[in-house]
Structure 1
Amino acid sequence: MIDIERLDHVLITIPTNTRKEAIRFYTQTLALEEILGNHPNGAIWVRFGDIELHIREEDIHQNNSERHAAVVVKDLSAAKAFLQKENIEISFSSVIEGRARCFFRDPWGNRFELIEYDK
């Protein structure tokens, strides 16, 4: 079992070469607060209520989209052990300071991120 605490963020994708328009839409049109920083893969992060919305350019013809929902778990090691026991492949991505994380896909290809923040 994976002990989930809360939804952390959702990553959506936009077509390549539309970054400036996306920043304008989310920060000016929708008036969302941008979370500045050097985010993985050039993502744009904004506050979306009490969660984060991550926006990243992606080739729309890509088979394995990077879109995903991310949840905070109480014990990432236990969650990974559970996934391995269930023969669910775990993948990793770039390092983000202050958190450990991993990814998995469901049988239909939907991607999920599990996060445990440093204490």
Structure 2
Amino acid sequence: MITTLDHVQLAAPPGSETALRAYYGGVLGLAEVPKPPALAANGGLWFASGPVQLHLGIDPDFRPSHKAHPGLRVVGIEAFAARLAGHGAEVVWDEKLPGHRRFYSEDPVGNRLEFLEPIG
């Protein structure tokens, strides 16, 4: 029986850790989680916000994910969108999900991210 989602992993190209750390840690405000030493040797980064974890794994044959994506629930979505736009990220609003405000954006290596907040 599955009880919860432990983490989501996105791929990233070699040498992108500095840009990813600035974006996921600095812009999105996620806390970096130390990787276990045996896994740290592979590169990449782990981040968390409460029980939610997002892992970025280095892939030498990296291709950004333009369709598959994590959906990240936020509080204060308008201010969150303005924060991303203020850092140069494109914000594309989508009103198709009933009961939610949501937008899409991309991380520095081109992976699609969805940000959403329930209405009411």
> How does the TM-score come out when normalised to structure 2?
0.46
